[in-house]
Structure 1
């Protein structure tokens, strides 16, 4: 609650509870764990929604979406205008300001499997200097390239957006937004879980300390890099289409940027610095504009990525 002192032990306690019971009610959790409900509620109200949230992980591959990263040159004076136009397109799911091998914007795109050949036309709407790569998780890529299709009705797309940023949002609130009954919403969520569209739930901790990132692309990579940076927040992606590896290393703007660049540049061929906080207002504006924007209102597949 506002004004209360932060407690690391309370945060860790709440994280451990929500990792075990991501969507159960507080009363149910207290009953199952044999803990005092009022103590749990006090800690939950103090941290949930401000310091941490529970988010679902969706299997976009099952729904026929391919993941790409793109890097666009954008003049500084046009940065916010171009960023806003990009995020108005629901297929462009994340954007960050960047400086390096491209000065402008880095982006993550979810592209329907039958619209990949339209990516050049899409990016050319925002810049005449860009590059993009299809990316999979380096640690989890299985070689399986069988993508599914969107096969659900449109209300499922709306539900997935409402559920995305807070998996503990009250069912009554979602039901009101969708014009459905609580029992219908519960059925829809159960279906998404049973059909493995919702793969899992994760506890996401707000980490304002990580407001910068070093991003690199390389065609040669080995696990020694992961081992070397194991004490840091680092992610690795692999492009089976292009043979490139993408490495992101997260850090604080209070740390020495020059030393980060010097240390990281030894392992990559292309390097850029990402500024995660700069375009936050644009990201927040389109916070719940994703699947409900991608999917046709009749539920028969995806809209064209060039429609926006």
Structure 2
């Protein structure tokens, strides 16, 4: 795989953020740029370091989002990660070391199954902590929907989440529908605000390390202080805030990590290793299909996996 040039990758990401689903020819015409230059960049990076995915309104579909940190011994790390990534309600699993040594995970739980989370996590570790995570800033809205679509829409969400630029002919084939029906289904997801939009996603091969910090009080100075790095903020209702900072292991950031720790009470470092990425990707490709019952009546139990 070609090592990415960040300027080229960021340029392509910026273009696809503006035109997530349009053809390369239409993008080139709209932006007044050379089509063949754009196609060379696209062929070089798309599907390798960059894809376009859809933003799903999980709240409307009755899913709550959580982060969890589990103590797992080194000799059981891979085995436990394999078991966890077989559960479609788990979204990502990565090795992590800090206030917990073992695994850092994100997962979803149906609103009516949140009382089963302890039982689910205890299958993997006797020592864990978890927090519900909401978008920043926090709206305070606590109204959750439910799964109300047919099973075909679970397949469609998996396709759009994995690669929203999948040709409509291929989407229709995988759904077993006509192209007009496939377009109708996509438009319905957009009109009902289940899909909120589309965004380019840079692969973790570029950012292969992450620092997670938990804090009860958010000092927004940290966002300005580290603005040259990619930082995301989440709200942990009932606790405080989560800060996640992504970077490359090629950078010498030891002093920055120490400085970052001044803004949080708990800190750990995540490792986005290739073997874990493969497991996470396998899970991601069809997770909605495995979460949703085939009769469309709702979700499976988070304890079934």
TM over 0.5: yes
| Mapped contact 2:88–2:288 kept (Cα < 8 A) | yes
1:239-265 per-residue CA deviation (whole Å, 9 max, x = no partner) reads 12x222111122222334542332122
Report the equivalent of 1:86.
Answer: 84
Report the equivalent of 1:303.
Answer: 300
Equivalents in 2 of 1:10, 1:103: separation in Å?
Answer: 36
Report the equivalent of 2:160.
Answer: 163
Equivalents in 1 of 2:202, 2:104: separation in Å?
Answer: 23
**Unmatched segments (≥5 aa) in structure 2:** none
Corresponding position: 1:260 with 2:279: no
Report the equivalent of 1:197.
Answer: 194
TM-score (norm 2): 0.91
1:107-164 per-residue CA deviation (whole Å, 9 max, x = no partner) reads 111110010000000000101110000011223x211111111111001001101111
Equivalents in 2 of 1:55, 1:217: separation in Å?
Answer: 27
Moved more, 230-239 or 123-132: 230-239
Report the equivalent of 2:273.
Answer: 277
* Cα separation, partners in 2 of 1:181 and 1:39, compared to 1, 3 Å: same
* Cα separation, partners in 2 of 1:19 and 1:179, compared to 1, 3 Å: same
* Cα separation, partners in 2 of 1:12 and 1:271, compared to 1, 3 Å: closer
1:38-82 per-residue CA deviation (whole Å, 9 max, x = no partner) reads 554344323322232111111111111110100111111111111
1:159-210 per-residue CA deviation (whole Å, 9 max, x = no partner) reads 1011112110112222222222222111111111111111111122336342
Q: State how many pairs are aligned.
A: 304
Q: Which of 202, 206, 214 is matched with 1:217 structurally?
A: 214
Moved more, 189-198 or 208-217: 208-217
Moved over 6 A (4+): 5-9
Moved more, 62-71 or 16-25: 16-25
1:269-296 per-residue CA deviation (whole Å, 9 max, x = no partner) reads 2111110125223213323132111111
Equivalents in 2 of 1:101, 1:9: separation in Å?
Answer: 35
